Amino acid sequence: MRGATHGSPYAPAQGYRYDGLYGVDDFWHEKGAEGFTAWRFRLARQSKSAPGAEPNPENDASRTTDLLGTSLTLLSVVEFGARTDDGQIIQAVTLPWFDIVRALQKDREVAFQLTPRQWEELIAGAYERAGFDQVILTPRSGDRGRDVIAIKHGVGTIRVIDQVKAYKPGRLVTANDVRALFGVVVMDRASKGFLTTTSDFAPRLRQDPLIAEQLGPRIELINGTQLLAKLEALAKNRSGY
């Protein structure tokens, strides 16, 4: 239940509203702002909410400001579906996905407030926005070098894997990281592999002879600047990946 006096952007204009049934989808612990261990819980909707239960992302600009607070890492940016052998299917992006993209447009430092797992969810949501038929977010551990798996069906089937490096400025992705991704692409029998980072790649990495011949057909490198541009485009329409 949500009440009008709650002060949340999700609150109804007046009275109370039933917003559906939620279950605990995932939980973990991390160090809180005051140094104590804090348990985090991600809730997933088990039933559809009432009509009008969610605000329009285009009309609620005030939510972007709220994202810069300590609640940022509590937001779930995707809606999960069934589990598979590889992980959990992404059904759709949620409103916080758009909010975070908007916040990133205003201030790139927001990128470094997100947890690595939230970046994986954000990028999984990007593939869903790009129109892939099935997008899977792999588990936190035991992902076998694949953070996101995206599949598109047509005359044939395209299987893409994405390895996400949520690095702060100054920490660069190395040539060994890219070579490792190529090994995963081969063993997974994927059509293509993306290595996506919030930072950048080491100088002259693209000139490495073992890497250069794979760039384009089998491997694509996405740095922080390119990533933000893709997210911005996907927030507006279905294009990008």
CATH code, domain carrying 118: 3.40.1350.10
User: CA-to-CA distance for 129 and 152, rounded, in angstroms?
Assistant: 12
Residue 190 φ/ψ region, left for φ over 0, alpha for ψ in the -120 to 50 degree band, beta for the rest: beta
Give yes or no: residues 38 and 156 share one domain.
Answer: no
Q: How many domains does the chain have?
A: 2
With the C-alpha atoms ordered 124, 125, 130, 134, is the resulting torsion angle positive or negative?
A: positive
Question: What's the token pair of residue 119?
Answer: 């970046």
pLDDT digits (tens, 9 = 90+) for 73-95: 566 789 999 999 999 999 999 88
Alpha helices in 107-223 (DSSP H): 116-129, 175-188, 209-212
Which residue do the tokens 């995932």 mark?
A: 26
Do 9 and 89 fall within a single domain?
no
Q: What is the pLDDT of residue 61?
A: 38
Same domain for 49 and 59: no
pLDDT score recorded for residue 113: 85
Domain containing 117 equals 55-236
pLDDT value, residue 99:
87
Residues of the chain with pLDDT under 50: 48-70
Same domain, 32 and 86: no
Q: Are 55 and 96 in contact (CB under 8 A)?
A: no
Query: DSSP of 128-158, one letter per residue?
Result: HHTT-SEEEEPPSS--TT-SEEEEEESSSEE
Q: What is the pLDDT of residue 41?
A: 74
Contact 198, 160 (CB under 8 A): no
156 plus 219 within the same structural domain: yes
